[in-house]
Structure 1
Amino acid sequence: MEGNTKQKQLSVLQFILSISIALFAFLWSLDLMTSTFHVIGNETVIKILSITSNPFISLFIGLFITAVIQSSSTSTSLIVAVVASGGMTLENAVPMIMGANIGTTLTSTIVSLSYITNNKEFKNAIATGVMHDFFNIMTVMILFPLEYYYHLLSKLSTSIASVFNLSTIPTKTGQVTSSGLFDFINSFLIDAIDYEIILVLIAGASLFASIKIISKIISKRMIGTSEERFQEVFFKHKLNSFGLGAMLTAGIQSSSITTSIIVPLGATGKIHLSKIFPYIVGANIGTTITALIAAFNKSEAAVSIALVHFLFNLIGTLIFLFIPYLKQLPIQYARKFGLMTMQYKVVGFFYILFVFFILPLALIFLNRL
């Protein structure tokens, strides 16, 4: 008995140590990236702004990048770092955040294609997978015009950051702040490495790896192998489902993982789409925690863009989870798409290629001509 207790204590200590190291690497990589973008200088900043000044292109850049790296947590953290360095304005970054929310849905959609050999399960799996897509796409369709014409999200997030003084170190626009914790390491690396692109690659690799490590450690600890208990306890009520999606994703820091693990349950029909939808919406809220952590001790603009990520998902939640008619739309269209894909299986593959790759790349390419 005593041996089991010691083993559990050791397991908890290992868990805390692993998470602490991964979190340290995450915060350091963000700080290094912010410092590096600041060092790169105005010429590169102008090039970045020339691409992202078009809000439509910015939207699809965010979509494409997130679809490729399959982590909205990573892409939004990168956007926070660029905004904190002064390399991008808040208004130009908002559409990119919206695109990142769509791009992160690719994983669950791809997972759903693995059920292609069983028509009934394939229909349910596709419906479960694309429901996340449709929720984010519909939210973008509502909020993108409001941001484009009235700057709704950027103004709202700036007001909240200003009123509550969420930026602990006030800065001028484009000025980078540092917590001081990583100053020595970053100064050494910037002085020792002459090529800024190498510094960006180091920071990017560390950022991506740290998020993946945190995701793997926490998902193994929180989810475990008890799938039956997992569904019985948490999917009885809408709020339970929503809370599970939010808390699980906040811990794992990957909505791609938390929405993908629900696909098998949806495919087999053990959980209906109406119960899965609040879980997916909750996952969208939970994934915003990373950007808020990334913005800690950065400029007010960085805090504002992190709040944009949260507000985008919060407003989408309020619209599609509580308004009577609208809350059925993502579920209804997901079901229809699942039925169509069951009849014409090529539709699912074409949808993925077109929405996540062909359309974004085509628009980005045409904009550069």
Structure 2
Amino acid sequence: MGPARTTVAPLDDDERKKGNLVLSMVTPDDEKKEEDEEDPWALVAPPSKGKDWSDMTGSEKTRDVAVILVRVVLLFTLLYFFICSLNFLSDAFRLLGGKAAGQALSNNKILNNPISNLMMGILATVLLQSSSTTTSIVVTMVASSLLNVRQAIFIIMGANIGTSVTNTIVSVGQAGQRNEFRRAFAGATVHDMFNWLSVMCILPIEWITGAFGSWKDCGLLCQVTDAMTRSLHDTEKQETKKEMLKALTKPLTHLIIQLDKKVINKFAQNKADGNESLVKHMCKTTVPMAVMTSNGTCELQYVQSEEHCHFLFETLARSWSDQALGILLLVLSLAVLCLCLLLIVKLLHSLLRGKIATVLRSFVNAEFPGIFRHLTGYVAILLGAGFTMLVQSSSIFTSALTPLVGVGILHLERMYPLTLGANIGTTFTAILAALASDRNVFQKTLQVALAHLCFNIFGILIWYPVPAMRNVPISLAKMLGNITAKYRWFAFLYLVILFMFIPGIVFGLSVAGTVVLVSVGLPLFFLFVIIAIINIVQTKKPGVLPVKLRNWNFLPRPLRSLQPYDSMFTKLCSVCKCCVSDNDDD
């Protein structure tokens, strides 16, 4: 018996409204009538595997078990290389922009208001590809009195947004199949939506309470964390450093390249030579040495010494600049990342068939019974936080989950609380960095690290407990998934606009001064809010609007539809299958 065709549940009206919330660039003119189509957001039913286990002979059972074991080993091997490629990607971005990020963070002239601090946090984290690195640098700068706590809080808010770029890049690896890409991109961008929405709510409160309150230039988060750490001023520092996943990946990554991350801290503290390389040339090693004791016996002791590092890129680093080395490493890491992701998705498709897929899908999306059902999401938050603490990277954890959402095993509504937990878990690294700081600055550095934790907790309290609020980031992520499924080039445009263009423009306006920022930014912000509200009303209750505003047909086509841009991008990317529009075959 051949494999059965996958079936999914039909899309009802409420779900269609949630999944097709539109903004100014997506209108009914762009939307296809989907009444007869299958629900792209439903979990994918696993195809039949063939014979039932009870009908197999002994040799067939042995063969199936052996094949499954081989595939599981291959899957974990690919996951290992996938995680290593993420580390290489982070190193490549550090080589390309680490010095610039450190120098920018040290410039108090451009960090003159909360908006510029926020945008600097986004840009620095995109360049460093790690919110943990950004927050650790910020903690170090607070310890060196180069930043005050209030400035650091706004930079960390930006770092929280910038860290979500990695799993969004990973989702592009599933662009070959439309519905998989729809789900994967939504699973990745639900992280973006939560972070942006949290900043929109918490940043104004922090800014206003600090600027106009009676708290001496210290806002709500600043005050809360100050109260939490005030009694710890004279506490002995606790140096602790735990590496879980890195202990497994270091043997391979250190054979390829090793970076001295302290150099970025030096640039942030204005202590680095402009020509100093991020590539590590001298490595510490432990060597045995014979020492004569007082009683005349010879004793073997181990002492630390320095010697030239030995890794693949070390020879190249002597003659190549950091930027040239970063470009090479970026190309190689992206190639390995895409290859691993492609093979992982194929292996998941081959493994998740029959009863195995049914059991796994039921387990990861299971709900607690009865009155405890509403606690399921909170347990998922705790699990996400725990796993992220173990791997010490929210990017790695969410990037590993993104393909599962794409293939239809993990539901977007379950991905969301796991992502929120990852946001909490990633603050563990900054807390460890604060615990290792000097005693005289221990209170301030721990206060900054706890501000990161409190920001994420406050965001969760706003956007998770109430179902109506919880649906906002999920609906926005579904909207982005629908757009990218139809116009797959939009994913690249989204990455450039949301993580580089908008932060860069707003950062430039904020550096020009508060008056310039308010004069230009405030009208644009209100225009965006008005357009968003009109679109929501058009979707939910169009009858309350004037006839002309019930759709955007009165606007020129390029202002209300992505189709004209699709025609342009399709011509430019005609050789690239992932760029073509909805008219192509999967």
TM-score (norm 1): 0.70
Q: Work out which of the residue numbers 453, 456, 459 in structure 2 matches 1:316.
A: 459
Is the contact made by 1:146 and 1:152 (CA closer than 8 Å) also made in structure 2?
Answer: yes
What is aligned with 1:54?
113
Name which of 120, 131, 142 aligns with 1:72: 131
Q: Confirm whether residue 238 of structure 1 aligns to residue 385 of structure 2.
A: no
Q: Structure 1 residues 335 and 296, CA, compared in 2 at 3 Å: closer, same or farther?
A: same
TM-aligned CA deviation for residue 62 of structure 1? 0.5
Among 322, 331, 351, the alignment partner of 2:474 is 331
Counterpart in the other structure of 1:168: 235
Cα 1:119–1:297 shift into 2, 3 Å: closer
- Measure, in 2, the Cα distance between the counterparts of 1:79 and 1:254: 17
1:284 partner amino acid = N
1:280 to 404, 414, 419: 419
Distance 2:410 2:106 in 1: 48
Where structure 2 has 5 or more consecutive residues not aligned to the other structure, the ranges are 1-102, 210-218, 240-261, 284-347, 367-375, 513-586
Work out the CA distance in 2 between the residues paired with 1:76 and 1:135.
19
Change (3 A) 1:294 1:195: closer
Q: 2:164 aligns with which of 105, 110, 119?
A: 105
SS at match of 2:464: helix
**What SS is found at the alignment partner of 1:322?**
coil
Shift of 1:288: 0.5
Contact map agreement 1:108 1:260 (CA 8 A) in 2: yes
What residue number does 1:93 align with? 152
Q: Deviations over 1:270-328 (max 9, x none)?
A: 11111111100111110010111111153222111101100011111222221231111
What is aligned with 2:204?
A: 145
Shift of 1:367: 4.8
Residue type of the partner of 2:398? T
Unpaired stretches in structure 1, ≥5 consecutive residues: 1-43, 171-177, 180-185, 207-224
CA displacement at 1:349 relative to structure 2: 1.3
Task: After TM superposition, give the deviation of residue 344 of structure 1 in Å.
Answer: 2.1
The alpha-carbon distance between structure 1 residues 201 and 368, as it changes in their structure 2 partners (threshold 3 A), is: farther
Aligned counterparts of 2:465 and 2:494: Cα–Cα separation in 1: 28
Q: Distance in 2 between matches of 1:71 and 1:167?
A: 31
Q: Mapping of 1:117-132 within 5 angstroms?
A: 117-132=176-191
Matched, 1:268 2:327: no
- For residue 105 of structure 1, report the CA deviation from its aligned partner: 0.2
Match of 2:435?
296
Alpha carbons of structure 1 residues 308 and 197: separation in structure 2 relative to 1, 3 Å: farther
Count of aligned pairs: 287
Moved more, 289-298 or 233-242: 233-242
**TM-score, normalised with respect to structure 2:** 0.45
Query: Residue in 2 aligned with 1:22?
Result: none
Structure 2 residue identity aligned to 1:351: Y
SS of residue matched to 2:108: helix
Confirm or deny: 8 A CA contact 2:111 2:511 kept in the other structure: no
Range with bigger deviation, 44-53 or 133-142: 44-53
Q: What residue is the counterpart of 1:20 in the other structure?
A: none
- Higher-Rg structure is 2
CA distance in 1, matches of 2:153, 2:490: 31
Pairwise CA distance, 1:108: 0.9
* Residues 192-203 of structure 1: pairs in structure 2 closer than 5 A: 195=272, 201=278
Q: Conserved in 2, the CA contact under 8 Å of 1:109 and 1:126? A: yes
> 1:356 corresponds to which letter in structure 2?
F
For residues 364 and 278 of structure 1, the distance between their equivalents in structure 2, rounded to whole angstroms, comes to 31
User: Helix, strand or coil: the match of 1:301?
Assistant: helix
Matched residues, percent identical? 33
- Offset of residue 90 of structure 1: 0.7
Aligned alpha-carbon RMSD (Å): 3.1
Query: In the alignment, is residue 343 of structure 1 matched against residue 471 of structure 2?
Result: no
